[in-house]
Structure 1
Amino acid sequence: MSSASTFTTKDYLSALGVIAIWGTNFVAMKFGLQDFTPLQLGAGRYMAAALTLLLLIRPPAIPWQWVVLYGLCQGLGQFGLLFLALKVGMTASLASVLMQTQVFFTALFGLVLLQEKLARHQRYSLGLGGLALTCFGLGILAGSSVGVTWAGLALNLAAAAMWAASNIVARQAQQACKPGQSLDPVAFVVWSSALPILPFMLLSWQLDPPLSWAHLAQVSWLSWASVLYLGWFATVIAYALWTGLLKRHPANQVAPLSLGVPVVGLAAGAFALQEVITAWQWAGILLTLLALLVNFRPGILPKAAP
């Protein structure tokens, strides 16, 4: 497979939608964790995402192992670890930055597992993205290290690696389709979202305090709205758009799209959580925009010497 392909107007709009939704969903997670444990929030997220749509959408026409593997990597792995990170010691702003290390994990996994070579402009884009993430991290840590622990940092990076793994699974699921068939992103996301529900519930039953009706009655409307937002928008809509992009383009070309998420995440944190954007963070925003420009407009780079 070629290491690069052309994005259409539909692809660009899908990318912008994903960036906007995922950039704001870290704030929603923080709100939800005010009333729910990480495991309860995980179960609620995927119940909202899957149970309302399973009866309306047919299962995807692919081998079931890909549905199961994607559901466990993206659901229990990525978000189970991320919710735990946010609970034990991670800010919403820093989480939005650290999750973008999935770009580097995806490039590595794609190179090793799918033999997706990195084009010259993609290497430049990833390098700029790495500088941007460094600026974001330095800015947030220098501004306030309160609420960030080593456990939270490790769990957040593990969640990013699981996101990268789910990207590779989505690419393989498309390749597993029979000749003449194509992967339905919505069906794939909805049915894979049913997989994490039972593991989240069982883990919550074993590890969390009992969930009583009295507690549920006291849950704020903001926490309930967060669960619905995480289920319907951040899972079904955003991941359907993301999976659609992965279906049409190499994983190492799609993954850098998420570099726009910290830009929205920082803005959402400043608005909803009154977080201040520092000079380091502004530098990261500019580097992120430049990385995206290089990734999608490689012609702006000087030609390599023959």
Structure 2
Amino acid sequence: MCFTNDARQGELVTKKDRLLAVTVAALWGSNFIALDWGLGHFPPFFFAALRFAVLLPVLLFVPRPQVKWRWLIGYGLGFATGQFAFLFLALQAGMPTGLASLVLQSSAPFTVLLGALLLRERLTPVQLLGICTAVLGMVVIGWHRAHSATLLPMLLTLAGAFSWALGNLSSRKAEAPNPLHLTLWIAIVPPLPMFALSAVFEGPGAGWHALTTMFSTTSGIIALSGLVYTVLLATVVGSGVWTTLLGRYPASTVAPFSLLVPVFGFTLAWLLLDETPHWIELAAGAVVVTGVLLGSLGRIRPAAKEPAHPEPIPT
């Protein structure tokens, strides 16, 4: 996939790309439902390892992305390993799933901040207003639900969001010619550390017992559906499109769209799980949507130019 120089320098987001970003948010918002299904049968860390391990055979038929190893590993450690390790620790410590879907979206302001500090990306006043508006809506929802979580799970979830932000920056720096190849190849990073965490926190045989009994219980069949959704739609499709957008635009343009994830999560929980959100959450969700739209409309001033002769990519 090729990108124009204007896009890389922060040209206005096209309607098509906005739709793609919203679609990713919808896929990731739905993923928390699939995650709930999967965790109904599998231990958390084992389930996280499994979602990436099942992709490993596919890599035999997918060329390695032509990116530097440090960005591939950084993306895998930040987005795929750190985010889910901290998230599942938070869930294990008592973090409600719905609130986790919200707090995790603090990766957006983390990404914007890190992009400004490390990648020298500059924001327009309109974008700053949009991001602040979206964050305000997210804070209101978090304040309304804060009574259901203690401090430790909140901090763990924030650590997962920060890891996601680091992964976003690694993905952008990778500048993968084929973002789908990069998305698939990060699957080499999470399985070993996640299986190790599973053995330590969940017991060496707990996950494998759940795997061997998957087809013998109703919860196992439902968990399999959750696994399929998580692997194909949330990871391959969702992460692939997200990586494409991060390669095309500055991180500060793309990241605010992740704030839509809890809006979709709350809506689906209402439709599928009969959970009726409070009117405060609905109003704050509308504020989040408004902020994301504002944040995506402003033009980014080009950052400093890259060296004329970029460092060659090792093979």
CA distance in 2, matches of 1:83, 1:53: 26
Instruction: Tell me whether 1:19 sits opposite 2:20 in the alignment.
Output: no
Contact persistence 2:141–2:280 (CA under 8 A): yes
Partner of 2:200: 206
Instruction: Tell me whether 1:112 sits opposite 2:117 in the alignment.
Output: yes
CA offsets 1:136-171 (integer angstroms, 9 cap, x no match): 112333xxx44x232211111111101110111011
Give the stretch that moved more between structures: 284-293 or 208-217: 208-217
Partner of 1:286: 286
Contact persistence 1:47–1:231 (CA under 8 A): no
What amino acid maps onto 1:159 in structure 2? G
Partner of 1:269: 269
Q: For residues 1-306 of structure 1, what are the structure 2 equivalents within 5 Å?
A: 4-48=10-54, 50-141=55-146, 145-146=147-148, 148-174=149-175, 182-209=176-203, 210-211=205-206, 212=209, 215-216=213-214, 217-218=216-217, 219-298=219-298
Contact persistence 2:124–2:298 (CA under 8 A): no
Contact persistence 2:21–2:257 (CA under 8 A): yes
CA distance in 2, matches of 1:254, 1:23: 16
CA distance in 2, matches of 1:115, 1:37: 41
CA distance in 2, matches of 1:37, 1:58: 32
Alignment TM-score, normalising by the size of structure 1: 0.88
Gaps of 5+ in 2: 1-5, 300-315
What amino acid maps onto 1:278 in structure 2? H
1:293 Cα deviation from its structure 2 partner: 2.3
Contact persistence 2:213–2:220 (CA under 8 A): no
What amino acid maps onto 1:250 in structure 2? P
Query: Helix, strand or coil for the counterpart of 1:281?
Result: helix
CA distance in 2, matches of 1:240, 1:297: 23
CA distance in 2, matches of 1:56, 1:121: 44
What amino acid maps onto 2:268 in structure 1? A
1:275 Cα deviation from its structure 2 partner: 2.0
Contact persistence 1:3–1:117 (CA under 8 A): no
CA distance in 2, matches of 1:272, 1:87: 23
What amino acid maps onto 2:27 in structure 1? I
Q: 1:272 to 1:88 in 2, by over 3 A?
A: farther
1:207 Cα deviation from its structure 2 partner: 3.0
CA offsets 1:40-80 (integer angstroms, 9 cap, x no match): 111111123x2242122111011222111111111110011
CA offsets 1:206-243 (integer angstroms, 9 cap, x no match): 33221326644445211111112111111111011001
Q: 1:3 to 1:154 in 2, by over 3 A?
A: farther
Contact persistence 2:12–2:298 (CA under 8 A): no
1:18 Cα deviation from its structure 2 partner: 0.2
CA distance in 2, matches of 1:39, 1:275: 27
Contact persistence 2:12–2:297 (CA under 8 A): no
CA distance in 2, matches of 1:294, 1:3: 19
What amino acid maps onto 1:187 in structure 2? H
CA distance in 2, matches of 1:214, 1:109: 43
1:3 Cα deviation from its structure 2 partner: 7.1
CA distance in 1, matches of 2:125, 2:11: 14
Alignment TM-score, normalising by the size of structure 2: 0.85
CA distance in 2, matches of 1:225, 1:47: 16
Query: Helix, strand or coil for the counterpart of 1:89?
Result: coil
Gaps of 5+ in 1: 175-181, 300-306
